[in-house]
A = this chain, B = another copy of it.
Amino acid sequence: MGIGDNGRVTPTSATAEAVQALLRNAPQSEAQLEQLARDAQTLPIVELVYLVETRPDTEAAILFRVLHKDTALAVFESLPAPHQAELISGLRTRQVADIIGELDPDDRASLFDELPASVAERLMHGLDAGERAMTTTVLGYPRDSIGRYMSPEVLTLRPTWTVGKALAHVRTHAEEPETIYLLPVVDETRVLIGVLGLRRLLSADESLLVGDLAHEAIHAHATDDRENVTRRFFNAKLLAMPIVDSEGRLVGVLTVDDAVDILEQETTEDTARTAGSEPLPRAYLSTSILGIVRSRVVWLLVLAISAILTVQVLEIFEDRLDQVVVLALFIPLLTGTGGNTGNQAATTVTRALAVGEVRVRDLPRVVWRELRVGLTLGSVMGSLGFLVAGLVYGWAIGAVMGLTLLSICMMAAIVGGLMPLVAKKIGADPAVFSNPFISTFCDATGLIIYFTIATAVLGL
């Protein structure tokens, strides 16, 4: 490192030149970015500042983005204000978003540290929804994390302010932020101390201190899963929720309209998955035919391939079918009833999981309940099956039908109740074991039950 003619520090070390070379080649692969991050981290702050100031906007933004959080903050604070603005606009370019967005989410999380809250706030300032989505990629929040949905413009109060001063502040800035009805209270380093509702502020004595009125905030971390955060949001009947980074610094606020959007999207996803299809990327009538086909064909194939199991089960019992062809008549009715019972149970439990009424640790209770429900349903269906089939096809067939319906209802209710919990336990979406999947499973199992009982009762 040496001092140049103009008295500024210029990078002369081999590392600084390696960093410059890497930047010039527009690093895109994970390996290149990792190398850049490693090299950059060994440079002194002053050299990093120089590089950020002198490289073109996109290169400066990429370099800045691979710095660790503390280093990034130090660099940012050393930059003169106009260069801070340039850096922010560089971070907002689509090129930078694309480079970061193309990485695997896990790699991205390990490579990119959080941005300092002050930088994040300025980066997100005044963006519309589309730009914001792009920019949250730069911030490194994973897909489906709440950081992607928060509004960065927040009106904050300081604990040392009087109610009078706080009210004047709110009245001056009322039109700017996304919401003024919940006011986060932060210290001088933006760490969230609490919140104060506008209603409380309005009715309080003007001489009281904000810090004395504020109460603990129900908040979330920017990387938290959007579904869990939204659930907590609505359970607590909030109008807004402060979002913080890993150090407890305020980075944004989730407002109720964004929370409702998330809820609606989750419902649409769950509904589609429950019926064994993927949610459509856009409105039904404006999705192309091929887009609709794509949302359905994979699951349809998977299910049809699973259903080959039913063909194989029936092949095993083909000679019994050949002997008593009347057994074939009841196949759709029995598999249908099994599927219906399984789906009823699965839907109830999936919804109970979604609204937080049931947790994974309730698995034994759910199984015990579904066993009794299945037994009761099976008794009703079995008795009717015995009577109706017995009257029409003789009591031997009646007995086969009665026993089979009893067994299938019990099996299906337990399987249907169990599946969503198993999915949740292994970290998958409970809707992954969708209703058609449960139907197919119950079809195959039900056929085995049917022919086993038929073989025994009819003495085949």
A interface residues, Cβ below 8 angstroms from B = 170-172, 174-175, 180-181, 198-200, 202-203, 234, 237, 239, 256-257, 260, 263-264, 267-268, 270-272, 274-277, 280, 283-285, 289-290, 292-293, 295-297, 299-301, 303-304, 307-308, 310-311, 314-315, 318, 321-322, 325-326, 328-333, 335-337, 339-341, 343-344, 346-352, 355, 357-358, 362, 365-366, 369, 372-373, 376-377, 380-381, 384-385, 388, 435-436, 439-440, 443-444, 447
Q: Is the CB of A290 within 8 A of B328?
A: no
Scoring A267, A280, A290, A384 by chain B CB atoms within 10 A of each residue's CB, the highest score goes to: A267
Report how far A241 CA is from B336 CA in the complex, Å: 45
Q: Which residue of B lies closest to A342 (CB)?
A: B275
A285: chain B residues within 8 A (beta carbon):
352, 357-358, 362, 365-366, 369
A388: chain B residues within 8 A (beta carbon):
308
Which of these, B260, B339, B366, contacts A234 with CB under 8 Å?
Answer: B260
Cβ distance A429 to chain B, nearest Cβ, rounded Å = 15
Knowing A175-B203, A275-B347, say if A340 contacts B181 (CB, 8 Å): no
Q: How many of these chains are in the complex?
A: 2
Knowing A314-B329, A332-B335, say if A292 contacts B348 (CB, 8 Å): yes
Q: Is the CB of A331 within 8 A of B333?
A: no
Which of these, B198, B275, B283, contacts A198 with CB under 8 Å?
Answer: B198
Q: Is the CB of A296 within 8 A of B332?
A: no
Scoring A329, A335, A340 by chain B CB atoms within 10 A of each residue's CB, the highest score goes to: A340
Q: Is the CB of A329 within 8 A of B307?
A: no
Which of these, B339, B348, B365, contacts A280 with CB under 8 Å?
Answer: B348
Q: Which residue of B lies closest to A405 (CB)?
A: B304
Cβ distance A342 to chain B, nearest Cβ, rounded Å = 9
Cβ distance A415 to chain B, nearest Cβ, rounded Å = 14
Which of these, B203, B381, B440, contacts A336 with CB under 8 Å?
Answer: B440
Q: Which residue of B lies closest to A318 (CB)?
A: B325
Q: Which residue of B lies closest to A440 (CB)?
A: B336
Knowing A276-B344, A357-B284, say if A304 contacts B292 (CB, 8 Å): no
Enumerate the 7 nearest inter-chain pairs by beta-carbon distance, A residue then B residue, closest first.
A275-B347, A174-B203, A310-B332, A284-B352, A307-B333, A328-B328, A237-B257
Knowing A275-B343, A384-B301, say if A171 contacts B202 (CB, 8 Å): yes
Knowing A357-B285, A436-B340, say if A272 contacts B203 (CB, 8 Å): no
Report how far A388 CA is from B257 CA in the complex, Å: 50
Cβ distance A375 to chain B, nearest Cβ, rounded Å = 9
Report how far A180 CA is from B202 CA in the complex, Å: 10
Cβ distance A240 to chain B, nearest Cβ, rounded Å = 10
A372: chain B residues within 8 A (beta carbon):
289
Q: Is the CB of B314 within 8 A of A348?
A: no
Knowing A275-B344, A296-B344, A341-B300, say if A289 contacts B443 (CB, 8 Å): no
A376: chain B residues within 8 A (beta carbon):
289-290, 293, 297
Which of these, B276, B337, B365, B439, contacts A304 with CB under 8 Å?
Answer: B337
Q: Is the CB of B174 within 8 A of A202?
A: yes
A330: chain B residues within 8 A (beta carbon):
311
Report how far A272 CA is from B271 CA in the complex, Å: 11
Which of these, B239, B272, B340, contacts A351 with CB under 8 Å?
Answer: B272
Report how far A358 CA is from B285 CA in the complex, Å: 7
A337: chain B residues within 8 A (beta carbon):
300, 303-304, 307
Q: Is the CB of A301 within 8 A of B381?
A: yes
Q: Is the CB of A348 within 8 A of B272?
A: yes
Report how far A402 CA is from B355 CA in the complex, Å: 43
A331: chain B residues within 8 A (beta carbon):
314, 328, 331-332
Cβ distance A25 to chain B, nearest Cβ, rounded Å = 44
Cβ distance A227 to chain B, nearest Cβ, rounded Å = 14
A200: chain B residues within 8 A (beta carbon):
174
A203: chain B residues within 8 A (beta carbon):
171-172, 174-175
Report how far A333 CA is from B256 CA in the complex, Å: 45
Report how far A348 CA is from B330 CA in the complex, Å: 31
